[in-house]
């Protein structure tokens, strides 16, 4: 599994990626040098919108994904093109990236973070997130169909 590090501009994308089961660290600091050091020490791929940081990564021996979009649905689409599956898979805490474990409360399945103890469950927000992911998957299939028809 790939390990990612988002810069400060993409913290929202980082939370979404954690909901998709990805290991996504928060930055230690704000500077490009700190991000590069953290990515190298933790063997992580940087995800950024900063072209300067993107260009600095090869020289630092760090892999990097440049996200071009400002819109979260388009950012998630870009991540699917990098191989991230678009399915809700609660394994990581959206706040701290800690590992979630499954518990049952009053007969309902929940997940709790081992580190910060945040509790997650499949509520109304879950259906909204799934709907958004389904919309992105449909757009991706439509684009694939269009490019196939053009060939």
**pLDDT tens sequence across 68-114:** 999 999 999 999 999 999 999 999 999 999 999 999 989 989 999 99
CA dist list (Å): 150 to 78, 105, 143? 22, 52, 11
pLDDT, tens only, 113-133: 999 999 999 888 888 999 999
pLDDT, tens only, 13-58: 999 999 999 999 999 999 999 999 999 999 999 999 999 999 999 9
Chain-centre distance for alpha carbon 122:
19
Full residue range of the structural domain in which residue 63 is found: 3-150
Chain-centre distance for alpha carbon 109:
23
How many domains in the chain? 1
Burial label for 13, CB within 10 Å (0-12, 13-18, 19+), is buried
Neighbours of 64 (CB within 10 A): 22
């Amino acid at each position: 599994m790939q390990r990612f590090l988002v810069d400060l501009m993409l913290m929202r994308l980082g939370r979404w990626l954690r909901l998709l089961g990805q290991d996504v660290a928060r930055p230690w600091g704000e500077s490009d040098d700190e991000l590069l050091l953290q990515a190298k020490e933790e063997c992580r791929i940087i995800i950024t919108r900063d072209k300067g940081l993107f260009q600095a990564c090869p020289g630092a021996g760090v892999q990097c994904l440049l996200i071009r979009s400002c819109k979260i649905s388009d950012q998630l689409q870009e991540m699917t093109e990098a191989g991230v599956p678009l399915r809700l898979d609660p394994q990581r805490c959206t706040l701290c990236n800690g590992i979630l474990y499954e518990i049952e409360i009053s007969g309902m399945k929940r997940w709790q973070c081992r580190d910060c103890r945040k509790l997650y469950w499949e509520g109304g927000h879950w259906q909204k997130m799934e709907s958004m992911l389904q919309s992105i998957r449909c757009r991706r299939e439509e684009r694939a169909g269009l490019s196939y028809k053009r060939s």
